[in-house]
A and B are shown apart, each in its own frame.
Chain A
Amino acid sequence: MRINFELNGKSVSAEVSPHQPLRDILRSQFDLTGVKVGCHSGRCGVCSVLLDDRVVKSCLLMAPKANGRSIATIEGLSTNGELHYVQQAFKDNFALQCGYCTPGFIMATVDYLSSSPSNPPLRDEIKSAIKGNVCRCTGYEKIISAVSSAIISSEN
Protein backbone atom coordinates (compact mmCIF):
# COMPACT_ATOMS: atom_id res chain seq x y z
CA MET A 1 0.00 0.00 0.00
CA ARG A 2 1.03 3.61 -0.55
CA ILE A 3 1.29 5.91 2.46
CA ASN A 4 1.73 9.68 2.59
CA PHE A 5 3.31 11.33 5.58
CA GLU A 6 5.43 14.21 6.72
CA LEU A 7 9.07 13.31 7.20
CA ASN A 8 11.34 15.85 8.88
CA GLY A 9 9.02 18.63 7.72
CA LYS A 10 8.60 17.49 4.09
CA SER A 11 5.64 15.67 2.51
CA VAL A 12 6.70 12.25 1.28
CA SER A 13 5.11 9.04 0.12
CA ALA A 14 6.24 5.41 0.21
CA GLU A 15 5.14 1.96 -0.86
CA VAL A 16 4.93 -0.24 2.25
CA SER A 17 3.50 -3.52 3.46
CA PRO A 18 1.90 -4.01 6.88
CA HIS A 19 4.53 -6.31 8.34
CA GLN A 20 7.30 -3.83 7.55
CA PRO A 21 8.51 -1.71 10.43
CA LEU A 22 8.80 1.97 9.56
CA ARG A 23 12.48 1.78 10.56
CA ASP A 24 13.30 -0.25 7.45
CA ILE A 25 11.45 2.19 5.18
CA LEU A 26 13.25 5.19 6.70
CA ARG A 27 16.63 3.58 6.17
CA SER A 28 16.15 1.96 2.77
CA GLN A 29 13.84 4.37 0.95
CA PHE A 30 14.91 7.66 2.55
CA ASP A 31 18.52 6.90 3.47
CA LEU A 32 17.96 8.07 7.05
CA THR A 33 20.59 5.84 8.59
CA GLY A 34 20.67 7.82 11.84
CA VAL A 35 17.71 5.53 12.64
CA LYS A 36 19.79 2.61 13.84
CA VAL A 37 19.19 -1.13 13.87
CA GLY A 38 19.66 -3.10 17.07
CA CYS A 39 17.37 -5.65 18.61
CA HIS A 40 14.35 -5.61 16.23
CA SER A 41 12.14 -6.13 19.26
CA GLY A 42 11.67 -2.86 21.10
CA ARG A 43 14.35 -3.51 23.70
CA CYS A 44 17.29 -1.25 22.82
CA GLY A 45 15.82 2.07 21.62
CA VAL A 46 18.40 2.81 18.89
CA CYS A 47 15.60 3.10 16.30
CA SER A 48 13.63 5.75 18.26
CA VAL A 49 11.87 8.43 16.18
CA LEU A 50 9.10 10.93 16.90
CA LEU A 51 5.57 10.12 15.70
CA ASP A 52 3.51 13.32 15.97
CA ASP A 53 6.13 14.61 18.44
CA ARG A 54 6.04 11.55 20.73
CA VAL A 55 8.94 9.11 20.88
CA VAL A 56 8.29 5.58 19.60
CA LYS A 57 10.47 2.67 18.54
CA SER A 58 10.36 2.52 14.77
CA CYS A 59 11.17 -1.22 14.72
CA LEU A 60 7.76 -1.75 16.36
CA LEU A 61 5.92 0.85 14.30
CA MET A 62 3.97 -0.85 11.54
CA ALA A 63 4.73 1.26 8.47
CA PRO A 64 1.07 1.92 7.49
CA LYS A 65 0.60 3.67 10.83
CA ALA A 66 2.68 6.59 9.58
CA ASN A 67 0.01 7.47 6.99
CA GLY A 68 -1.19 11.04 7.53
CA ARG A 69 1.14 11.55 10.49
CA SER A 70 4.42 13.34 11.01
CA ILE A 71 7.72 11.55 11.61
CA ALA A 72 10.91 13.20 12.85
CA THR A 73 14.32 11.53 12.89
CA ILE A 74 17.68 12.70 14.21
CA GLU A 75 18.49 14.03 10.72
CA GLY A 76 15.68 16.58 11.01
CA LEU A 77 16.70 18.14 14.31
CA SER A 78 19.43 20.59 13.35
CA THR A 79 18.55 23.81 11.54
CA ASN A 80 20.89 25.41 8.96
CA GLY A 81 23.75 23.25 10.15
CA GLU A 82 23.32 24.33 13.75
CA LEU A 83 22.85 21.58 16.31
CA HIS A 84 19.55 21.29 18.20
CA TYR A 85 20.15 22.22 21.84
CA VAL A 86 19.69 18.60 22.93
CA GLN A 87 22.38 17.52 20.46
CA GLN A 88 24.57 20.34 21.76
CA ALA A 89 24.01 19.20 25.37
CA PHE A 90 25.10 15.64 24.48
CA LYS A 91 28.21 17.03 22.79
CA ASP A 92 29.07 19.44 25.61
CA ASN A 93 28.69 16.71 28.24
CA PHE A 94 30.71 14.06 26.35
CA ALA A 95 27.59 11.89 26.51
CA LEU A 96 28.72 9.55 23.75
CA GLN A 97 31.56 7.22 22.91
CA CYS A 98 30.81 4.99 19.90
CA GLY A 99 27.67 7.06 19.26
CA TYR A 100 25.48 4.18 18.09
CA CYS A 101 22.86 4.78 20.78
CA THR A 102 22.99 8.58 20.58
CA PRO A 103 20.24 9.32 18.03
CA GLY A 104 17.80 7.18 20.03
CA PHE A 105 18.69 8.85 23.34
CA ILE A 106 18.37 12.29 21.77
CA MET A 107 14.90 11.55 20.34
CA ALA A 108 13.76 10.21 23.74
CA THR A 109 15.15 13.35 25.39
CA VAL A 110 13.37 15.65 22.92
CA ASP A 111 10.03 14.00 23.81
CA TYR A 112 10.80 14.19 27.54
CA LEU A 113 11.65 17.90 27.30
CA SER A 114 8.33 18.62 25.60
CA SER A 115 6.38 17.12 28.51
CA SER A 116 7.41 19.73 31.13
CA PRO A 117 10.12 17.87 33.05
CA SER A 118 10.93 18.92 36.61
CA ASN A 119 13.33 21.83 36.82
CA PRO A 120 15.63 21.65 38.76
CA PRO A 121 16.05 18.27 37.09
CA LEU A 122 15.25 15.08 39.02
CA ARG A 123 17.62 12.18 38.48
CA ASP A 124 14.96 9.48 38.90
CA GLU A 125 12.62 11.22 36.50
CA ILE A 126 15.40 11.43 33.89
CA LYS A 127 16.19 7.74 34.38
CA SER A 128 12.54 6.84 33.73
CA ALA A 129 12.49 9.02 30.63
CA ILE A 130 15.47 7.26 29.04
CA LYS A 131 14.91 3.75 30.32
CA GLY A 132 13.84 2.51 26.88
CA ASN A 133 17.34 3.18 25.54
CA VAL A 134 20.43 1.07 26.07
CA CYS A 135 24.01 2.38 25.98
CA ARG A 136 26.86 -0.11 26.07
CA CYS A 137 29.66 2.47 26.38
CA THR A 138 29.06 5.44 28.65
CA GLY A 139 27.65 3.93 31.83
CA TYR A 140 24.79 6.45 31.50
CA GLU A 141 26.16 9.08 33.93
CA LYS A 142 27.17 11.51 31.19
CA ILE A 143 23.89 10.96 29.39
CA ILE A 144 22.02 11.86 32.56
CA SER A 145 24.19 15.01 32.86
CA ALA A 146 23.43 15.90 29.24
CA VAL A 147 19.69 15.54 29.77
CA SER A 148 19.91 17.65 32.97
CA SER A 149 21.78 20.39 31.21
CA ALA A 150 19.32 20.32 28.29
CA ILE A 151 16.46 20.80 30.78
CA ILE A 152 18.25 23.76 32.34
CA SER A 153 19.13 25.32 28.99
CA SER A 154 15.55 24.84 27.70
CA GLU A 155 14.37 27.27 30.39
CA ASN A 156 16.60 30.04 29.07
Chain B
Amino acid sequence: MSSSPPQSYHLPLDLVSALTLLAEHEGSAKIIAGGQSIMLLLRQGFLSPETFVDISCIPELSEIATIGGVVHVGAAATYSSLESSPEIQPYSVLTDSLHVIADPQIRNLGTVGGALGHADPSLDIVPPLLCLDANVVLKSLDKTRIVSLSNFHQEYMTADLSKDELIHSVTFNNLTGPHGGAYEKASNVEGGWPTVGVAAQVVLDDTLSIISDVKIALAAVGDTAIRSPCIEKSLIGSVISMDSISKSSELVSQDIDPLDDLSGSAEYKSHLAGVLSKRALIKAINRAGGSL
Protein backbone atom coordinates (compact mmCIF):
# COMPACT_ATOMS: atom_id res chain seq x y z
CA MET B 1 0.00 0.00 0.00
CA SER B 2 2.79 2.46 0.89
CA SER B 3 4.20 2.07 -2.62
CA SER B 4 1.08 3.48 -4.32
CA PRO B 5 1.63 6.71 -6.30
CA PRO B 6 0.56 10.08 -4.84
CA GLN B 7 -3.14 10.52 -5.31
CA SER B 8 -5.23 13.67 -5.41
CA TYR B 9 -8.80 13.71 -4.14
CA HIS B 10 -11.13 16.48 -5.27
CA LEU B 11 -14.52 17.34 -3.81
CA PRO B 12 -15.92 19.87 -6.31
CA LEU B 13 -19.01 21.83 -5.24
CA ASP B 14 -20.47 22.44 -8.69
CA LEU B 15 -20.94 20.52 -11.92
CA VAL B 16 -18.67 22.64 -14.13
CA SER B 17 -15.74 22.18 -11.72
CA ALA B 18 -16.28 18.41 -11.77
CA LEU B 19 -16.49 18.28 -15.58
CA THR B 20 -13.39 20.48 -15.87
CA LEU B 21 -11.45 18.08 -13.64
CA LEU B 22 -12.57 15.14 -15.78
CA ALA B 23 -11.50 16.95 -18.96
CA GLU B 24 -8.12 17.95 -17.52
CA HIS B 25 -7.31 14.47 -16.26
CA GLU B 26 -8.85 12.60 -19.14
CA GLY B 27 -8.22 8.93 -18.65
CA SER B 28 -6.64 9.14 -15.21
CA ALA B 29 -9.51 10.48 -13.09
CA LYS B 30 -11.98 8.22 -11.33
CA ILE B 31 -15.45 9.44 -10.43
CA ILE B 32 -16.50 8.67 -6.86
CA ALA B 33 -20.12 8.89 -5.72
CA GLY B 34 -20.92 6.89 -2.56
CA GLY B 35 -17.77 4.80 -2.90
CA GLN B 36 -19.64 1.62 -1.93
CA SER B 37 -18.48 -0.35 -4.96
CA ILE B 38 -15.21 1.49 -5.49
CA MET B 39 -13.86 1.07 -1.96
CA LEU B 40 -13.71 -2.70 -2.34
CA LEU B 41 -11.91 -2.44 -5.68
CA LEU B 42 -9.37 0.00 -4.22
CA ARG B 43 -8.74 -2.20 -1.22
CA GLN B 44 -8.27 -5.26 -3.37
CA GLY B 45 -5.80 -3.32 -5.55
CA PHE B 46 -7.87 -3.64 -8.75
CA LEU B 47 -7.81 0.11 -9.15
CA SER B 48 -5.23 2.74 -8.40
CA PRO B 49 -6.28 6.01 -10.02
CA GLU B 50 -4.11 9.12 -9.62
CA THR B 51 -7.06 11.47 -9.40
CA PHE B 52 -10.38 11.06 -7.66
CA VAL B 53 -13.33 13.31 -8.46
CA ASP B 54 -15.91 12.94 -5.70
CA ILE B 55 -19.28 14.20 -6.93
CA SER B 56 -21.23 13.70 -3.71
CA CYS B 57 -21.08 17.39 -2.64
CA ILE B 58 -22.61 18.82 -5.84
CA PRO B 59 -26.19 19.79 -4.92
CA GLU B 60 -27.45 19.70 -8.54
CA LEU B 61 -26.49 16.02 -8.82
CA SER B 62 -28.48 15.00 -5.74
CA GLU B 63 -31.78 16.61 -6.74
CA ILE B 64 -34.96 14.60 -7.27
CA ALA B 65 -37.73 16.55 -9.01
CA THR B 66 -40.73 16.16 -11.31
CA ILE B 67 -40.80 18.77 -14.07
CA GLY B 68 -43.44 18.80 -16.80
CA GLY B 69 -44.44 15.19 -16.28
CA VAL B 70 -40.85 13.92 -16.20
CA VAL B 71 -39.18 12.61 -13.05
CA HIS B 72 -35.49 13.58 -12.82
CA VAL B 73 -33.27 11.70 -10.38
CA GLY B 74 -29.80 13.20 -9.91
CA ALA B 75 -27.01 10.65 -10.33
CA ALA B 76 -25.60 11.30 -6.85
CA ALA B 77 -28.97 10.92 -5.10
CA THR B 78 -28.57 8.12 -2.56
CA TYR B 79 -30.88 5.13 -2.36
CA SER B 80 -32.01 6.47 1.03
CA SER B 81 -32.93 9.85 -0.39
CA LEU B 82 -35.01 8.11 -3.07
CA GLU B 83 -36.70 5.95 -0.44
CA SER B 84 -37.86 9.05 1.44
CA SER B 85 -38.60 11.23 -1.61
CA PRO B 86 -42.30 12.04 -2.27
CA GLU B 87 -41.52 12.12 -6.03
CA ILE B 88 -40.58 8.43 -5.97
CA GLN B 89 -43.44 7.08 -3.83
CA PRO B 90 -45.92 6.67 -6.75
CA TYR B 91 -43.52 4.19 -8.41
CA SER B 92 -43.88 1.06 -6.33
CA VAL B 93 -41.65 -0.84 -8.76
CA LEU B 94 -38.84 1.45 -7.55
CA THR B 95 -39.74 1.61 -3.86
CA ASP B 96 -40.02 -2.20 -3.67
CA SER B 97 -36.52 -2.46 -5.06
CA LEU B 98 -35.02 0.28 -2.86
CA HIS B 99 -36.25 -1.48 0.29
CA VAL B 100 -34.41 -4.69 -0.59
CA ILE B 101 -31.06 -3.24 -1.71
CA ALA B 102 -28.38 -4.31 0.79
CA ASP B 103 -29.05 -2.56 4.12
CA PRO B 104 -29.55 0.95 5.55
CA GLN B 105 -25.81 1.62 5.79
CA ILE B 106 -25.14 0.88 2.10
CA ARG B 107 -28.31 2.73 1.05
CA ASN B 108 -27.21 5.85 2.97
CA LEU B 109 -24.15 6.16 0.71
CA GLY B 110 -24.86 4.15 -2.46
CA THR B 111 -26.24 6.17 -5.37
CA VAL B 112 -28.25 5.53 -8.51
CA GLY B 113 -25.46 6.94 -10.70
CA GLY B 114 -22.93 4.73 -8.93
CA ALA B 115 -25.07 1.71 -9.70
CA LEU B 116 -25.47 2.66 -13.37
CA GLY B 117 -21.75 3.46 -13.66
CA HIS B 118 -20.81 0.15 -12.04
CA ALA B 119 -23.06 -1.70 -14.51
CA ASP B 120 -23.25 -4.97 -12.59
CA PRO B 121 -26.04 -7.15 -14.05
CA SER B 122 -27.22 -8.02 -10.53
CA LEU B 123 -28.06 -4.49 -9.38
CA ASP B 124 -31.62 -4.32 -8.05
CA ILE B 125 -32.32 -0.76 -9.19
CA VAL B 126 -31.80 -1.40 -12.91
CA PRO B 127 -34.82 -3.64 -13.77
CA PRO B 128 -37.34 -1.17 -12.26
CA LEU B 129 -35.76 1.67 -14.25
CA LEU B 130 -35.89 -0.46 -17.42
CA CYS B 131 -39.61 -1.00 -16.77
CA LEU B 132 -40.06 2.77 -16.52
CA ASP B 133 -38.28 3.24 -19.91
CA ALA B 134 -35.70 5.42 -18.19
CA ASN B 135 -33.17 7.58 -20.01
CA VAL B 136 -29.67 8.33 -18.80
CA VAL B 137 -28.47 11.94 -19.13
CA LEU B 138 -24.68 12.18 -19.66
CA LYS B 139 -22.69 15.39 -19.50
CA SER B 140 -19.20 16.46 -20.46
CA LEU B 141 -17.84 20.01 -20.67
CA ASP B 142 -18.92 20.42 -24.27
CA LYS B 143 -21.97 18.22 -24.67
CA THR B 144 -25.03 16.53 -23.22
CA ARG B 145 -26.08 13.07 -24.42
CA ILE B 146 -29.28 11.23 -23.65
CA VAL B 147 -29.14 7.45 -23.94
CA SER B 148 -31.96 5.04 -23.22
CA LEU B 149 -31.06 2.83 -20.27
CA SER B 150 -31.68 -0.27 -22.39
CA ASN B 151 -28.77 0.84 -24.63
CA PHE B 152 -26.57 2.14 -21.81
CA HIS B 153 -25.48 -1.30 -20.60
CA GLN B 154 -24.72 -3.44 -23.62
CA GLU B 155 -22.03 -5.74 -22.30
CA TYR B 156 -21.09 -7.29 -18.96
CA MET B 157 -20.04 -4.57 -16.46
CA THR B 158 -19.73 -1.94 -19.19
CA ALA B 159 -21.50 1.39 -19.46
CA ASP B 160 -21.65 3.60 -22.56
CA LEU B 161 -19.65 6.36 -20.91
CA SER B 162 -16.56 8.18 -22.16
CA LYS B 163 -13.72 9.25 -19.90
CA ASP B 164 -14.69 12.92 -19.81
CA GLU B 165 -18.39 12.24 -19.17
CA LEU B 166 -20.38 11.74 -16.03
CA ILE B 167 -23.88 10.47 -15.46
CA HIS B 168 -25.86 13.59 -14.60
CA SER B 169 -29.31 12.11 -13.99
CA VAL B 170 -31.83 9.44 -14.82
CA THR B 171 -35.23 10.48 -16.12
CA PHE B 172 -38.56 8.75 -16.75
CA ASN B 173 -42.06 9.87 -17.62
CA ASN B 174 -44.96 10.10 -15.19
CA LEU B 175 -47.30 7.16 -15.64
CA THR B 176 -50.89 7.67 -16.73
CA GLY B 177 -53.92 5.40 -16.58
CA PRO B 178 -54.49 2.72 -13.92
CA HIS B 179 -50.99 1.40 -13.31
CA GLY B 180 -49.04 -0.62 -10.80
CA GLY B 181 -45.53 -1.96 -10.36
CA ALA B 182 -43.66 -4.45 -8.20
CA TYR B 183 -40.17 -5.85 -7.69
CA GLU B 184 -39.58 -9.39 -6.45
CA LYS B 185 -36.17 -10.67 -5.43
CA ALA B 186 -34.75 -13.93 -4.13
CA SER B 187 -31.34 -14.03 -2.47
CA ASN B 188 -29.36 -16.57 -0.50
CA VAL B 189 -28.87 -14.33 2.51
CA GLU B 190 -30.88 -11.52 4.05
CA GLY B 191 -29.69 -8.23 2.53
CA GLY B 192 -27.70 -10.05 -0.12
CA TRP B 193 -27.40 -9.60 -3.85
CA PRO B 194 -30.25 -11.09 -5.89
CA THR B 195 -30.00 -14.66 -7.13
CA VAL B 196 -32.68 -13.38 -9.52
CA GLY B 197 -34.69 -10.14 -9.38
CA VAL B 198 -37.81 -9.35 -11.44
CA ALA B 199 -39.55 -6.01 -11.95
CA ALA B 200 -43.05 -5.71 -13.44
CA GLN B 201 -44.95 -2.61 -14.47
CA VAL B 202 -48.52 -2.86 -15.84
CA VAL B 203 -51.10 -0.45 -17.19
CA LEU B 204 -54.74 -1.56 -17.28
CA ASP B 205 -57.60 -0.26 -19.44
CA ASP B 206 -60.36 1.81 -17.84
CA THR B 207 -62.46 -1.28 -17.05
CA LEU B 208 -59.50 -2.67 -15.05
CA SER B 209 -59.90 -6.02 -16.79
CA ILE B 210 -57.50 -5.82 -19.74
CA ILE B 211 -53.73 -5.42 -19.63
CA SER B 212 -53.09 -2.56 -22.03
CA ASP B 213 -49.35 -2.45 -21.40
CA VAL B 214 -46.83 -4.50 -19.44
CA LYS B 215 -43.07 -4.38 -18.96
CA ILE B 216 -40.97 -7.05 -17.31
CA ALA B 217 -37.24 -6.72 -16.61
CA LEU B 218 -34.81 -8.99 -14.78
CA ALA B 219 -31.54 -8.77 -12.85
CA ALA B 220 -28.85 -11.44 -12.50
CA VAL B 221 -29.89 -13.56 -15.47
CA GLY B 222 -27.22 -12.68 -18.04
CA ASP B 223 -24.52 -10.16 -19.00
CA THR B 224 -26.82 -7.20 -18.38
CA ALA B 225 -30.23 -6.64 -16.84
CA ILE B 226 -32.83 -7.24 -19.58
CA ARG B 227 -36.49 -6.99 -20.52
CA SER B 228 -38.56 -10.08 -21.30
CA PRO B 229 -40.26 -9.52 -24.68
CA CYS B 230 -41.81 -13.02 -24.60
CA ILE B 231 -43.84 -12.31 -21.45
CA GLU B 232 -44.67 -8.80 -22.58
CA LYS B 233 -45.97 -9.86 -26.04
CA SER B 234 -48.06 -12.66 -24.65
CA LEU B 235 -49.85 -10.43 -22.12
CA ILE B 236 -50.38 -7.10 -23.88
CA GLY B 237 -54.05 -6.77 -24.82
CA SER B 238 -55.12 -9.86 -22.86
CA VAL B 239 -57.86 -10.18 -20.27
CA ILE B 240 -56.46 -10.51 -16.74
CA SER B 241 -56.46 -14.15 -15.66
CA MET B 242 -54.33 -16.26 -13.36
CA ASP B 243 -54.04 -18.86 -16.09
CA SER B 244 -52.54 -16.49 -18.67
CA ILE B 245 -50.18 -14.97 -16.10
CA SER B 246 -48.91 -18.40 -15.07
CA LYS B 247 -48.42 -19.53 -18.67
CA SER B 248 -46.73 -16.36 -19.84
CA SER B 249 -44.41 -16.24 -16.81
CA GLU B 250 -42.98 -19.56 -17.89
CA LEU B 251 -41.95 -18.00 -21.22
CA VAL B 252 -39.29 -15.93 -19.46
CA SER B 253 -36.72 -18.70 -19.85
CA GLN B 254 -36.62 -17.96 -23.61
CA ASP B 255 -35.35 -14.44 -22.95
CA ILE B 256 -32.66 -15.05 -20.36
CA ASP B 257 -29.24 -16.66 -20.16
CA PRO B 258 -28.32 -17.21 -16.50
CA LEU B 259 -25.00 -18.73 -15.42
CA ASP B 260 -24.25 -21.58 -13.07
CA ASP B 261 -22.55 -20.00 -10.05
CA LEU B 262 -22.42 -20.14 -6.27
CA SER B 263 -25.86 -18.58 -5.96
CA GLY B 264 -27.48 -21.39 -7.97
CA SER B 265 -27.51 -23.40 -11.18
CA ALA B 266 -28.70 -21.89 -14.46
CA GLU B 267 -31.65 -24.28 -14.40
CA TYR B 268 -32.65 -23.20 -10.91
CA LYS B 269 -32.38 -19.53 -11.83
CA SER B 270 -34.53 -20.03 -14.92
CA HIS B 271 -37.18 -21.65 -12.78
CA LEU B 272 -36.88 -18.90 -10.18
CA ALA B 273 -37.22 -16.22 -12.89
CA GLY B 274 -40.59 -17.73 -13.86
CA VAL B 275 -41.83 -17.90 -10.26
CA LEU B 276 -40.74 -14.35 -9.47
CA SER B 277 -42.19 -13.00 -12.75
CA LYS B 278 -45.54 -14.45 -11.79
CA ARG B 279 -45.39 -12.98 -8.28
CA ALA B 280 -44.35 -9.57 -9.56
CA LEU B 281 -47.11 -9.54 -12.17
CA ILE B 282 -49.79 -10.50 -9.64
CA LYS B 283 -48.68 -7.76 -7.26
CA ALA B 284 -48.43 -5.17 -10.04
CA ILE B 285 -51.90 -6.00 -11.38
CA ASN B 286 -53.46 -5.85 -7.92
CA ARG B 287 -51.78 -2.52 -7.25
CA ALA B 288 -53.15 -1.19 -10.55
CA GLY B 289 -56.66 -1.99 -9.30
CA GLY B 290 -57.13 -5.22 -11.23
CA SER B 291 -58.36 -8.29 -9.43
CA LEU B 292 -56.84 -11.72 -9.43
Q: Which residues of A contact B (CB under 8 A)?
A: 1, 17-19, 21, 40-42, 45, 48, 51, 54-57, 59-62, 64-65, 67, 108, 111-112, 115, 127-129, 131-133
Contact = CB atoms under 8 A, between A and B. Distances in A.
Contacts of B4: 17, 19
Contacts of B8: 1
Interface of B: 1, 4, 7-9, 11, 32, 35-36, 38-40, 42-43, 48, 52, 54, 56, 80, 84, 99, 102-106, 108-109, 190-191
10 contacts: A1-B9, A17-B4, A17-B7, A18-B9, A19-B43, A41-B40, A64-B11, A65-B35, A127-B190, A131-B104
A39 to B, nearest CB: 11
B38 to A, nearest CB: 8
A132 B102 contact: yes
**B interface majority secondary structure:** mixed
B161 to A, nearest CB: 21
Contacts of A17: 4, 7
Contact of A42 (B54, B80, B99, B106): B106
Contact of B108 (A56, A67, A127): A56
Given A19-B42, A132-B191, A42 B105 contact: yes
Given A128-B99, A131-B190, A19 B7 contact: yes
A133 B42 CA distance: 23
Nearest to A111: B104
A115 B32 CA distance: 27
B106 A55 contact: no
Q: Which of B11, B35, B102 has the most CB of A within 10 A?
A: B35
